[in-house]
Amino acid sequence: MSLKIVVLAKQVPDTRNVGPDAMTPEGTVNRAALPAIFNPEDMNALEQALLLKDADPDANVQIVTMGPPRATEIIREGLYRGTDGGVLLTDRAFAGADTLATSYALATAIRKMGLPDIVIGGRQAIDGDTAQVGPQVAQKLGYNQVTYVTSIDKVEDGKITVTRHIDGGVERVEAPLPILLTVNGDAAPCRPQNAKLVMKYKRATTPIERPADGSLPYAEEYERKPYLTITQWSVADVDGDVAQCGLSGSPTKVKAVQNIAFKAKESKVLTASDDDVNELIQELLNEKIIG
Amino acid sequence: MANYYTDHPEIGFHLSHPEMRKVVDLREKNYEDKDKFDYAPVDFEDAIENYRRVLEITGDVAANVIEPNSESVDLEGPHLENGRMVYASKTFENIEATKKAGLWGVSMPRRYGGLNLPNAVFSMLSEVISAADAGFQNIWSLQSCIDTLYEFGSEEQRQEFIPRVCRGEGMSMDLTEPDAGSDLQRVVLKATRDEENDCWRLNGVKRFITNGDSDIHLVLARSEEGTTDGRGLSMFIYDKRDGGVDVRHIEHKLGIHGSPTCELTYKNAKAQLCGSTRLGLIKYVMALMNGARLGIAAQSVGLSQEAYNEALSYANDRQQFGQKIVGFPAVYDMLSRMKAKLDAGRSLLYQTARYVDIYKCLEDIQRDRALTPEEKQQMKKYQRLADAFTPVAKGMNSEYANQNAYDAVSVHGGSGFIMEYKSQRLMRDARIFSIYEGTTQLQVVAAVRYITNGTYLNIIKEMLQREVAEELRPLHRRVETMAALYEQSVQYVKEAHDQEVQDFLARRLYDMTAEIIMSLLILDDATRAKAEQNEACAEQFVKSANVYVRMAEEDVIGKASYVKQFIAEDLPAFKQV
């Protein structure tokens, strides 16, 4: 049997290119000012999944993402690189989720899809930086988990061998399937989009993205080509418990948000005189900064 | 994220040229693939959208994989290991990325696994890749040798080799030998028939073969024993899987270090004949070279863009005498000329590519059915235009790339001479453009008949009839004056009835031709960009038109004067021994 793989991916604001209007005066992320991108470490995870599919073209790779309608772009980005499909979890009831509610929604959707051999995601998202969602999904599915993975080395006889990053080096781990892996940013970068796949899937959309007035360009194409319709699921579609989703399922409460501007605490002005330079060197030696 | 395509809206501007509709309609044969292949376009707009997307992918790979690798590739270069060429380590990464992106065999029909891209779009991919690394562009763009195999090979050969190129196998064209460079009629590599194994055998040496250890070679060889000219040469396909060809030496070159230039020894290498015997040079290699020349024109435009970008960014950064150097007239004079040559040269490239597309598409349709008399006439017309424009696009753009790279170094001042800066590499890489695939001097030879028979003059007159934007009319009038001077100069040379005088003055007439045509093209582009309210391009093109027409005028007037006062008796003063 060929492998079934589910990739967990998130659309995030591009916090690596922060401009002056990146934050609102209230101290929350100004999503409008930041382009939405595929979370970088989820891209590394996607590449690991696609490498397994390169080795066995019959392997099935699906992306699951939770977000607003425009997060369908995450599924398309996967299709452009060789995934077999994906699911967008989108519902107002999913909104405002912390990591617990997110992992509940993802685990519920994965069960609905049929349990895979491998669930794989990035170590953490660049907007929240919690690194909690992957491990929580593993817990909820009852899967083994290996975090900080930098490469998948072998999948054979129901077992997987991976290399994972640890302080000061790497370790090789063997574990039984099914398994959840979280992947580090120093794993192989994701491949580029593929020209033929982009040409094939460029008009693929979730129904919720399409104009409400029914004015759909190339409408007949959607009838001819079922793969141009991307699956979208609500809480009801995954038989989810609304109380465990979104804001209501999130025990995390934000007490306060503070704007912190980094400032140098103290500074000292030195002249080019030998005395000043000697004093500085002595101080650095005393502090064991040099020596 | 940086993207070599979307960062330069001037490239996409040519995708929306009105003539593209004709190109795409012919290329897609009424969109007949739409029910056969899930990635085929359903109509013209859909095809253009596909092109735009493949250009974005290429722009991404170029900016984020190939360019970051380019310095390391330049420093490492390929090496020889037991008779095999091994690419610089980062070249493998580039190849892998372009394979994953599906950028191989892109011009081939979908039934063999290709993307069926027209030449105009292929040239855009080429320039984008070249801007990132001109040496890698060689390795990548040699895939266009497959066009010749598609045109002249048998159906079995197409099925055997085209899908392999679409999967990323590399190609080379093995033409030159130690004593046969520009003069390919002197090729001696021997092809003999092996009746027992029903194949041909190749023996001899090829020299200066770009990407010479490729997977699939097209080889020019002498199949007719006892012959000494081009009519005894045939074209063969050598498959590296069969063995028999070793790399004896890899050249150490001034530039394009990533592109391996090999000396090959053929020892009884098994090969297949491509097409008919005796047509190797006179028909197939001419087709191959025309394609390759357009490839070099695209390579040149890409490098010109990169040279301009490097120079502009440095000039905006560097401060001297209390201000950014971009504000000094001597510096912005250089930069504006660079941009004008770039914009005008690019326009010439895509005009040529569209001519090639239209006639090649009609030629391809002719393989399936007879053309109507009107189609036949069109095919002839566009073939003539393509043949006339290719040597101008190649020659001028390769010279412009050199000039722009030289000026980029000048703008950098002392830093331009330091190896850590990219402009020196661009200067080294560009140097070969005006040499290989026919030197500029040979492009002039290829163009001269179209100068004397009035082909260019007719086009110039036709182009002069086109409407230009109101604010550009004064420039347009100056081009009219230039065209009249050009006509007189051509007439003068013809009336001299002296072959040596004509050969001697040909380069000047060639430059005048090219500069007038490019003046008209940039006026056209500025007019269209304004009409389409494409603000990003309109402002640039109006500037470039202002700069280019003046620059052309300066040159055309000087050359017209030179030609007019030249007589055969002047020649001895030039002859050197």
Among candidates A192, A221, A225 on the partner chain, residue whose Cβ is nearest the Cβ of B100? A192
For residue A137, CA distances in Å to A41, A141, A261 come to: 17, 6, 35
Single-letter amino acid, residue A28: T
> Residue A264: its pLDDT value, please?
73
> Residue A289: its pLDDT value, please?
84
**CA dist., res. B482 & res. A109, Å (int):** 72
Structure tokens at B476: 């347009």
Among candidates B42, B65, B115 on the partner chain, residue whose Cβ is nearest the Cβ of A221? B42
With contact defined as beta carbons under 8 Å apart, do A19 and A33 qualify? yes
Residues of chain B whose C-beta is under 8 A from some C-beta in A? 38-42, 46, 49-50, 53-54, 57, 60-61, 65, 97, 100-103, 106, 115
Strands (E), B42-98: 79-81, 84-86
Are the beta carbons of A195 and B97 separated by less than 8 Å?
A: no
**CA dist., res. A22 & res. B478, Å (int):** 52
Q: What is the dihedral of CA B134, B135, B137, B138, to 10 degrees?
A: 130
pLDDT band at A27 (very low <50, low <70, confident <90, very high): low
Are the beta carbons of B57 and A195 separated by less than 8 Å?
A: yes
Are the beta carbons of B53 and A221 separated by less than 8 Å?
A: no
- Percent of chain A at pLDDT > 70 equals 98
Characterise A288 by phi-psi region: left (phi > 0), alpha (psi -120 to 50), beta (else).
Answer: left
> Residue B328: its pLDDT value, please?
98
Structure tokens at B360: 């090649």
pLDDT mean over A56-80: 97
For residue B191, CA distances in Å to A285, B174, B202, B229 come to: 78, 13, 5, 15
User: Which has the higher per-residue pLDDT, A266 or A236?
Assistant: A236
| pTM metric for this prediction | 0.94
Above 90 in pLDDT, residue A18? no
Strand partners, B180: B177
> Residue A266: its pLDDT value, please?
76
> Residue A82: its pLDDT value, please?
98
With contact defined as beta carbons under 8 Å apart, do A195 and B54 qualify? yes
Residue B360's Cβ-count burial label (10 Å; 0-12, 13-18, 19+) is buried
> Residue A254: its pLDDT value, please?
80
CATH number for the domain running over A4-255: 3.40.50.620
Q: Looking at chain B, which residue has its C-alpha nearest residue A35?
A: B1
> Residue A32: its pLDDT value, please?
75
Q: What is the dihedral of CA B174, B176, B177, B181, to 10 degrees?
A: 180
Above 70 in pLDDT, residue A28? no
**CA dist., res. B509 & res. B277, Å (int):** 38
> Residue A154: its pLDDT value, please?
95
pLDDT band at A26 (very low <50, low <70, confident <90, very high): low
- Count CA within 13 A, CB hemisphere, residue B298: 30
pLDDT mean over A244-260: 84
**CA dist., res. B317 & res. B1, Å (int):** 21
Q: Which pLDDT tens digit goes with each residue over B215-226?
A: 999 999 999 999
Q: Pick from B315, B289, B305: which is nearest to B235 by CA? A: B289
Are the beta carbons of B115 and A199 separated by less than 8 Å?
A: yes
Among candidates B38, B57, B100 on the partner chain, residue whose Cβ is nearest the Cβ of A225? B38
Please enumerate in sequence order all residues whose Cβ is within 8 A of that of A229, keeping only pairs 6 or more positions apart, or say none: A204, A205, A206, A207, A222
Enumerate the residues of chain A whose CB falls inside 8 A of the CB of residue B97: 191-192
With contact defined as beta carbons under 8 Å apart, do B458 and B325 qualify? no
Strand partners, A233: A89
Strand partners, B172: B217
**One pLDDT digit (tens) per residue for chain B, 577 residues:** 899 999 999 999 999 999 999 999 999 999 999 999 999 999 999 999 999 999 999 999 999 999 999 999 999 999 999 999 999 999 999 999 999 999 999 999 999 999 999 999 999 999 999 999 999 999 999 999 999 999 999 999 999 999 999 999 999 999 999 999 989 999 999 999 999 999 999 999 999 999 999 999 999 999 999 999 999 999 999 999 999 999 999 999 999 999 999 999 999 999 999 999 999 999 999 888 889 999 999 999 999 999 999 999 999 999 999 999 999 999 999 999 999 999 999 999 999 999 999 999 999 999 999 999 999 999 999 999 999 999 999 999 999 999 999 999 999 999 999 999 999 999 999 999 999 999 999 999 999 999 999 999 999 999 999 999 999 999 999 999 999 999 999 999 999 999 999 999 999 999 999 999 999 999 999 999 999 999 999 999 999 999 999 999 999 999 999 999 999 999 999 999 8
Are the beta carbons of A191 and B49 separated by less than 8 Å?
A: no
Given the DSSP bridges, would you call strands B79-81 and A159-166 parallel, antiparallel or unpaired?
unpaired
Nearest CA to CA, how far is A201 from chain B (Å)? 8
Domain residue ranges in chain A: 4-255
Are the beta carbons of A192 and B106 separated by less than 8 Å?
A: no
Buried b (16+ CB within 10 A) or exposed e, A158-186: eebebbbbeeeeeeebeeebbbbbbbbee
Q: Pick from B489, B78, B87, B137: which is nearest to B296 by CA? A: B137
Are the beta carbons of A194 and B60 separated by less than 8 Å?
A: no
Are the beta carbons of B100 and A225 separated by less than 8 Å?
A: no
Q: Which pLDDT tens digit goes with each residue over B157-166?
A: 999 999 999 9
What ipTM, to 2 d.p.? 0.94
pLDDT mean over A123-134: 91
Enumerate the residues of chain A whose CB falls inside 8 A of the CB of residue B67: none
**CA dist., res. A200 & res. A182, Å (int):** 30
Domains, in order of start, for chain B? 9-166+282-430 (1.20.140.10), 171-278 (2.40.110.10), 450-570 (1.20.120.470)
pLDDT mean over A182-205: 97
